[in-house]
Amino acid sequence: MELATIYQRVIGLDIHQAQITACAIIQQSDGTMHIEQRQFGAFKRDRRELAEWATSLKPEQVVMESTGIYWKSPYAALEAVGIYGMVVNARHVKNVPGRKTDVGDAQWLATLARAGLLRNSFVPPAKLRELRLISRQRQKLVGQISAEKNRLHKLLTDCGIRLGVVVSDIHGQSARAMVKAIIAGQSIQEVLNFASRRLRASREELFDALQGELTDNHRFVLDEIMCHIEEIEARIARFDARLLEELKGEHNKLVLLQTMPGVDLIGAAMLLVEIGTDMSAFGSADRLASWVGICPGNNESAGKRKSGRVRKGNLYARRLLCEFAHAASRTRSVFQSKFQSLLVRRGYKRSIVALAHKLLRTIYFMLSRGEHYRDSATDYEALSAQRNAPRWIKTLIHFGYLPQQSA
């Protein structure tokens, strides 16, 4: 079956680590087809040659599969000469089994592109792609510091110190000072001097919790772990500063996102880097949720709909949204009541994912309309009156509209 022609000049690229196979299908003015196949290396000079060759053909579409990270440098090379390639999901363009070759794959991509049968994946602008490197490395560092903190806690338990029993966070300011004093070899009485008065535990409870069998080897390992934790914290702070500095131009959107329950400044910056600032790239909240992989999958047969797993999407954005959902479920907002209603029927983890889905849809409309979040469960007029009433009353008394006793 011959596919209808939508585009007359298309290029398909099959990209690997060491080589790029290209196939151009050009329809001549007399209706004849011209197919040109080329192979390029993967180095910078080869990518530049690819871009020059593609420019000479003046293609309407340049298509490539989203194969790992290999597509990124050829995409950037084409972008530099004004050609914005179409990056497609490899699942959507599978060829007939048993006929797979590099040339065949490139020609198949070009054939599908020529017929207009491909759907473009979301590729953010170059600046946001660079900022993703900062954001994602920061997430990796947060994972590392969590692992190191767990090791520190485990090692303290190993030597008999039960500080985690009487302190809610052993990495808080007061608890960390006590741990450092323990590592330095100070006596328990000296360690207790670092305990904050705001701790719920009494000095007797802290004294009992700090009793342990600490050896020189314990102290050595604890010291190394503590140094590593502080080093990672300093690196995370540098990543935060760099990310916020680069996003100065998006200050209004960052402020807007922070009006959402559970979203802080760094979280807003990291999410903005992942989903971008232009929601028209997705078209609808449903498509954005599908791209992130936070909405249920479709599983329908014989008229019956069954439960479907969430799709694989943007892991980094999904992780951020689930963190926001955890925080929002503990705020006095409509999200808390939504979470409580889901929790009874669906369990904790599914409820968090469903709440993350709701948060993302809300964020989509906020960014599309440029509107701040307004909670339907909050009476903002009554809240404003409650906050401003003392000032209003003082003003009325000052101008003589109310007697002094009404204050």
What pLDDT, on a 0 to 100 scale, did the predictor assign at position 318? 94
Angle at alpha carbon of residue 368, lines to 264 and 138, rounded to 5°:
35
CA distance 60 to 87: 14
Higher pLDDT, 272 or 404: 272
**24: Cβ contacts below 8 Å, ≥ 6 apart:** 9, 10, 11, 12, 34, 35, 36, 37, 38, 57, 59, 110
- Overall average pLDDT of the 105-110 stretch: 88
Quick one: pLDDT at residue 238? 97
Please name the residues in contact with 393: beta carbons below 8 A apart, sequence gap of 6 or more: 402, 406, 407
- Planar angle of CA 175, 236, 255, nearest 5 degrees: 105
Residue 389: per-residue pLDDT:
77
Spatial separation of the C-alpha atoms in residues 45 and 66, rounded to whole Å: 22
Residue 1's CB is within 10 A of a number of other CB atoms, namely: 2
Q: What is the pLDDT of residue 406?
A: 45
Q: Which pLDDT score, from 0 to 100, does residue 407 have?
A: 44
Confidence check: pLDDT of 286 > 70: yes
Return the SS3 of 299: coil
Q: CA–CA separation, 34 vs 107, rounded Å?
A: 12
Summarize the confidence of residues 261-286 as an average pLDDT: 93
Confidence of residue 306 (pLDDT cuts 50, 70, 90): low
Q: Which of 255, 241, 280, 267 is nearest to 372 (CA)?
A: 255
pLDDT of amino acid 217: 93
Spatial separation of the C-alpha atoms in residues 108 and 100, rounded to whole Å? 10
When comparing pLDDT for 97 and 13, which is higher? 13
Q: CB–CB of 230/148 below 8 Å?
A: no
- For 62, phi then psi, to 5°, come to -125, 120
- Specify the DSSP class assigned to residue 13: E
Could you read off the pLDDT of 4-42 as tens digits, one per residue? 788 999 999 999 999 999 999 998 888 788 899 999 999
**Which tops the pLDDT comparison, 381 or 1?**
381
CB contact set of 270 (below 8 Å; sequence gap of 6+): 135, 138, 139, 243, 316, 320
Percent of the chain with pLDDT over 90: 56
pLDDT at 3: 73
∠ Cα 252 254 256 (to 5°): 70
pLDDT reported for residue 24: 94
Total Cβ atoms within 10 A of residue 218: 19
| Tokens 């440098």 -> residue | 73
Tokens of residue 370, six digits: 């440029």
The answer, yes or no, to whether residue 171 has pLDDT greater than 60, is: yes
The pLDDT value given to residue 378: 60
Decide: residue 386, CB within 10 A, 0-12 exposed, 13-18 middle, 19+ buried. Answer: exposed
DSSP 160: T
pLDDT at 379 over 60: no
9-121 homologous superfamily: Ribonuclease H-like superfamily/Ribonuclease H (3.30.420.10)
Report the pLDDT value the prediction gives residue 301, as an integer from 0 to 100: 67
Residue pLDDT, tens place only, 216-233: 999 999 999 999 999 999
The set of residues, in sequence order, having a beta carbon less than 8 Å from that of 252 and lying 6+ positions away, is 370
The encoded tokens of residue 200 equal 């719920």
- What pTM did the predictor assign? 0.83
Q: Is the pLDDT reported for residue 92 higher than 80?
A: no
Angle between the 315-328 and 126-158 helix axes, to the nearest 10 degrees?
60
pLDDT, tens digit, 9 for 90 and up, residues 318-328: 999 999 999 99
Residue pLDDT, tens place only, 113-164: 898 888 888 999 999 999 999 999 999 999 999 999 999 999 999 989 998 8
Residue spans of beta strands (DSSP E) within 304-406: 304-305
Based on C-alpha coordinates, what's the Rg of the chain? 29
Quote the pLDDT of residue 19: 93
Residues in the chain, overall count: 407
Residues β-bridged to residue 14:
21
* Arithmetic mean of pLDDT over the chain: 88
Neighbours of 339 (CB within 10 A): 22
For the chain, the structural domain boundaries read: 9-121, 127-246, 250-369
Give the residue, 145 or 200, on which the prediction is more confident.
145
Distance CA 250, CA 244 (A): 9
User: CA-based diameter of the chain, in Å?
Assistant: 96
Exposed/middle/buried for residue 85 (C-beta within 10 Å: 0-12, 13-18, 19+): buried
Q: Is the pLDDT of residue 98 over 60?
A: no
pLDDT at 53: 95
Q: What share of the chain is helix, strand, coil (3-state, %, to 5)?
A: 55, 10, 35
Return the number of other C-beta atoms located less than 10 Å from residue 378's C-beta.
12
Greater confidence (69 vs 302) lies with: 69
- Percentage of residues in the chain with pLDDT exceeding 70? 92
Q: Which long-range contacts link 332-341 to residues 24+ away (Cβ below 8 Å)?
A: 332/377, 333/261, 333/375, 333/377, 333/378, 334/375, 334/376, 334/377, 335/261, 335/262, 335/359, 337/377
Higher pLDDT, 375 or 367: 367
